[in-house]
């Protein structure tokens, strides 16, 4: 059987557009923002710096898949409204996670791109609904998913009518806790050999360590990734989620300056 996601079926790269931002056309798309949308001030501070230094998309979670049910679960629709306000103010398209099939219509009413988190990579009911949602999808790799399983997860979205899928490597489970996950950087070119879909790297979740985000971001650029997902926060030590891996806004600016020039917005 030939799969829609495979290079056999489509040898040339897919270009996935989110407004005027294109993944897979040879550029390097930086999406960034806080792990969780926490407040108007927090989100606008991030969006202002991201827009100012050439980031193309604002990414923040309103529905958060937290390991513990007692941790901050996100602002829900109020968070989506803040994202829409940031889009209006700064002209950045917004990317945000949808966790359940039942939330697809609500999230699609606000988002420019729908994120499927790692834990939901094989939520097949959600993937089928996203096939019909009319918005591009950012599909993160499951923490223990093989590349073939990840490709089949994307196949669910394509085969249900939506060709616009961007894949995101975010690290996998292994034995050494020196990083939160193991950044499987080889997965990026390996996936690009097998599939025509764009592939980006998320060095924030892949490492869990702020100091490792910039070097791995540059590595992603060097190996031909189609972009990055990076977490940043005006005050990471007080973040309600993922503070240890979030760059300060100054660090985010420095990272953007350190990426090869051709990768920054003209
Ligand atoms: C996130 O993007 O904030 C997130 C929860 O990531 P992941 O699904 O990769 O764990
Ligand atoms: Mn996060």
Q: What is the mean pLDDT of residues 102-107?
A: 98
Residue 199 lies in a domain: yes
Query: pLDDT for 109-154, tens place per residue?
Result: 999 999 999 999 999 999 999 999 999 999 999 999 999 999 999 9
135 lines ligand 1 (CB under 6 A): no
Q: Hey, which bits of 65-198 come out as E strands? A: 93-97, 113-116, 137-140, 165-169
Quote the pTM value.
Answer: 0.97
Which residues lie near ion ligand 2 (Cβ < 5 Å)? Answer: 35, 242
Ligand 1 centroid from CA 140, angstroms: 8
d(CA 245, CA 74): 18
Ligand 2 centroid from CA 174, angstroms: 19
Residue 85 lies in a domain: yes
Query: pLDDT for 21-58, tens place per residue?
Result: 999 999 999 999 999 999 999 999 999 999 999 999 99
The domain total for the chain is 1
Query: pLDDT for 52-91, tens place per residue?
Result: 999 999 999 999 999 999 999 999 999 999 999 999 999 9
Predicted pLDDT at 134? 96
Ligand 1 atom at minimum distance from 65 CA: 5
Query: pLDDT for 171-185, tens place per residue?
Result: 999 999 999 999 999
What CATH number does residue 134 fall under? 3.20.20.70
d(CA 23, CA 165): 10
Asked whether the predicted pLDDT for residue 262 surpasses 60, the reply is: no
Domain span holding position 117: 27-64+71-258
Predicted pLDDT at 260? 79
205 lines ligand 1 (CB under 6 A): yes
Residue 136 lies in a domain: yes
φ, ψ dihedrals at 254, nearest 5°: -60, -40
CB burial of 224-239 (b: ≥16 within 10 Å; e: otherwise) equals ebbbbbbbbbbebeeb
Residue 112 lies in a domain: yes
Percentage of residues in the chain having pLDDT higher than 90: 97
Per-residue confidence at 164, pLDDT binned at 50, 70, 90?
A: very high
Mean model confidence pLDDT for the chain: 97
Concatenated DSSP letters for 37-98? Answer: ---HHHHHHHHHHHHHTT--EEE-BSS---SSTTS----THHHHHHHHHHHHHH--EEEEE-
Asked whether the predicted pLDDT for residue 266 surpasses 90, the reply is: no
d(CA 32, CA 152): 27
Ligand 1 centroid from CA 171, angstroms: 10
Percentage of residues in the chain having pLDDT higher than 70: 98
The separation between CA 201 and the C-alpha centre of its own chain, rounded to angstroms, equals: 8
Residue 22 lies in a domain: no
Q: What is the mean pLDDT of residues 236-260?
A: 97
Structure tokens at 89: 């103010």
Integer angstrom CA distances of residue 215 from 68, 167, 258: 30, 21, 10
């Amino acid at each position: 059987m030939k799969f829609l996601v495979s290079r056999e079926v489509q040898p040339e790269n897919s270009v996935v557009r989110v407004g005027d931002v294109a993944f897979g056309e040879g550029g390097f798309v930086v999406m960034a923002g806080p792990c969780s949308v926490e407040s108007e001030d927090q989100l606008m501070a991030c969006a202002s710096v991201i827009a100012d230094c050439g980031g193309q998309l604002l990414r923040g979670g309103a529905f958060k898949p937290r390991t513990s049910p007692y941790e901050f679960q996100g602002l829900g629709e109020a968070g989506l409204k803040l994202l829409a306000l940031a889009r209006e103010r700064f002209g950045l398209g917004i990317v945000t996670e949808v966790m359940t099939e039942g939330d697809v219509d609500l999230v699609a009413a606000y988002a420019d791109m729908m994120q499927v988190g790692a834990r939901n990579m094989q939520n097949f009911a959600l993937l089928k609904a996203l096939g019909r949602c009319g918005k591009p999808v950012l599909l993160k790799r499951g923490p223990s998913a093989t590349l073939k399983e990840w490709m089949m997860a994307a196949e669910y979205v394509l085969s249900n009518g939506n060709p616009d899928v961007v894949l995101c490597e975010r690290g996998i489970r292994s034995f050494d806790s020196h990083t939160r996950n193991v950044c499987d950087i080889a997965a990026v070119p390996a996936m690009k050999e097998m599939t025509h879909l764009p592939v980006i790297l998320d060095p924030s979740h892949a490492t869990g360590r702020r100091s490792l985000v910039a070097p791995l971001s540059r590595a992603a650029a060097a190996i031909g990734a189609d972009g990055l997902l990076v977490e940043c926060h005006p005050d990471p030590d007080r973040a309600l989620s993922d503070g240890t891996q979030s760059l300060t806004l100054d660090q985010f600016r420095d990272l953007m300056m350190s990426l090869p020039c051709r990768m920054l917005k003209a």
